[in-house]
Amino acid sequence: MRVLITGAAGFICMHLSAVLMQRGHQVVGFDNLSGITYDRELKLARLRHLGLEINEATMQRLAAGEALQIKGFTFYQQDLCDREKLQSLVAQGNFAVVVNLAALAGVRLSTEIPEQYVQSNFQGFFNLLEVLKSQPVEQRPRLVFASSSSVYGDCKVVPFAESNTDIKPKSVYTATKQMDETIAYAYASLFKIDAIGLRFFTVYGPYGRPDMAPFIFLKSFLEGKEITLFNEGKSRRDFTYVGDIVEGVVKVIEGPDQSAKAVPFDVFNIGNGSPVGLFDFVHTLEEISGKKAQIKLAGMQKGDVEQTYADVTKLKQVYGYQPHTNLREGLQHFYDWYCDFYKPLG
């Protein structure tokens, strides 16, 4: 298949692109290479990992609108909010599936720059739906898009199940993801756009985001700095290894369409299904790194939730999803990558 991936220089996208290429699919990706949430050098490193040559000359080519290509992968520097370019790319691409993972991530930052989150996460997604709607029905690609476990807010019914609709957003980021699910359902109902939303649960692993706990904690451990555990360290997270996430996304991409449904829309949790307390997470990272954490406890931050806990029964039943990487194994992979990539002293 030909698969279009938005946000292709992102963490999950890089791993997904690599697996799709290995499986013989043709991947076309684009990313605006924004440095809003973290340094874009890590995004460029991910593209290099996929095999692209990234240097001053190729960056100039990207800025001029040219594509970089290797066998099985084509990359553009492009923004989801540029509807004209998106329209041209989709119209000429002959894609079977579009995977939308482009977004500004992070609950806490969304409180500080809400307008940018709404622009990127909702307006950009709306642009994509409009572009898909404009394609001839027989040529219209299926849509798989990223939602988030944060849509459950402080849901008290655990594990979090897709059938629970009594959920309320606690952050701007969460609100944009709920808006995406709502507008995708509307377009599936009105225009028969085949859309599947995936609620990701705390993804970690090699090339992971620097603004997330595994990265922040390990960096602090190795530099002898203090870490802060919010909610007095009482929070729990359903940490899910990126390899398991990608296996699940590939199953959805390669799975059947939803043409038999009156409304071709669905949403699935994709997580590990085994939440871990923050102190247990820290202790595991201490064992792997051989470093002792210096811990500071603090109250709950705005927009945060006490726990995330995925019920993945539905994804198992429909697509055969089965996470298999435990926290110790996944963090070891992350630690090995981090030490190789950053080569910290000692």
CB of 108 closer than 8 Å to CB of 303: yes
**Torsion angle (degrees, nearest 10) of CA 68, 74, 80, 85:** 80
CB of 143 closer than 8 Å to CB of 195: yes
Interatomic CA distance for residues 106 and 124, integer angstroms: 17
Work out the widest C-alpha separation in the chain, in whole angstroms.
59
Taking CA 88 as the corner, what is the angle to CA 82 and CA 94, rounded to the nearest 5 degrees? 130
Nearby residues of 129 by Cβ (< 8 Å), 6 or more positions away: 143, 183, 184, 187, 193
Three-state DSSP class for residue 27: strand
- Catalytic annotation present for 173: yes
Three-state DSSP class for residue 309: coil
Interatomic CA distance for residues 9 and 34, integer angstroms: 10
Structure tokens at 287: 């064992």
Taking CA 93 as the corner, what is the angle to CA 88 and CA 98, rounded to the nearest 5 degrees? 100
Interatomic CA distance for residues 267 and 322, integer angstroms: 17
Interatomic CA distance for residues 126 and 86, integer angstroms: 12
CA dihedral sign of residues 151, 110, 48, 239 = negative
From the candidates 173, 207, 319, 335, give the one annotated as an active-site residue: 173
Residue numbers annotated as active site: 173
